[in-house]
Structure formats: structure tokens, C-alpha cells
Amino acid sequence: MIDNTTPVTRKAFLKQGLTTVLSHLAQGLPGFDLIQMGTAVIELTVCTAFQGSGCRVCYDVCPIQDDAIQLTEGLPQIMPDHCTGCGVCVYECPTPEAIRVVS
Ligand code: SF4
Ligand code: SF4
């Protein structure tokens, strides 16, 4: 959901819009959960959730939330057998290098 109440940069606006479109496209594709492009990996020493930030952006944006990524005691956990490697979580993560997709 695009927040219309606070000013955003053009880059942030485009990023948020593209992520939303990707997520909706993914949800609408039959068999999306069967596509395998790679697997997301969280770098625990970089991800701020593991330092207590409470961040859960990757979980919130995942098109197949609770299958590909779950929250365990508030911390994101990738489920390799279900993650498609779509990259939406990587694109939306606010912390560089905290999450990536590997083949
Ligand atoms: S969005 Fe990034 S920083 Fe936030 S919990 Fe996920 S991997 Fe960690
Ligand atoms: S790459 Fe990220 S957004 Fe895509 S299915 Fe895997 S955990 Fe979900």
C-alpha cells in the first residue's frame, strides 16, 4: 500500500510501486509457488531483525508468505523448499546485503 501522507522521494515511490506490482503479479500467477528461480538467504549478522529492530519487511512483502518465509518469535526464516527466489524480499529490504537470492 502506497502511503500518501508522507513525502517520498521519486526513487522510493517507484521502488514501492514496483514491489507492489511484482507482489500482485506473483500472487495472480497460477503455479507461482512452483516456480524455482533460486532461494532467499538471510545474512543473520546483517539483518537488523536479529539485532532487535523488529523489522519484518521481507515477511510482509513475500507473495507466498508463511510458506516461503515465516516469522519465528518475530524473526524471519526462509523455507528453502517453498521459496521461489522471486526477489521481492531482496528488493524491498531496507538493509543492504541483509537478504539475497542464491541459485
Ligand atoms: S527486510 Fe531485511 S532487515 Fe528486515 S527482517 Fe528482512 S532481511 Fe532483515
Ligand atoms: S525470494 Fe523472498 S519474496 Fe520471493 S518467495 Fe522467497 S522469501 Fe518470498
Q: What CATH number does residue 15 fall under?
A: 3.30.70.20
Q: What is the pLDDT of residue 60?
A: 96
**Distance, C-alpha 43 to centroid of its chain:** 14
5 within some domain: no
Tell me the CA–centroid distance for residue 7 and ligand 1, in Å. 23
Tell me the CA–centroid distance for residue 49 and ligand 1, in Å. 6
4 within some domain: no
pTM: 0.75
* Atom number in ligand 1 closest to CA 50: 8
3 vs 72, higher pLDDT = 72
pLDDT grade, residue 101 (50/70/90)?
very high
Report the range of poorest mean pLDDT among 2-6, 17-21, 51-55, 56-60. 2-6
What dihedral angle (degrees, nearest 10) is formed by the CA atoms of 98, 36, 24, 48?
A: -10
pLDDT grade, residue 95 (50/70/90)?
very high
Ligand 1: residues within 6 Å at CB? 42, 47-49, 55-58, 76, 93, 95, 98-99
Task: Please tell me the distance from the alpha carbon of residue 65 to that of residue 48, in angstroms, as a whole number.
Answer: 19
Number of domains in the chain: 1
Q: Which three cell numbers stand for residue 7?
A: 513525502
Q: What is the mean pLDDT of the chain?
A: 84
Residue bearing the CA closest to ligand 1, atom 8: 47
In the predicted model, is pLDDT for residue 22 greater than 70? no
Q: How far is CA 8 from CA 14, 17, 18, 44, 67, in A?
A: 10, 12, 15, 29, 32
5-14 mean pLDDT: 62
Name 42's Cβ contacts closer than 8 Å, sequence gap at least 6.
58, 76, 77, 78, 98, 99
56 within some domain: yes
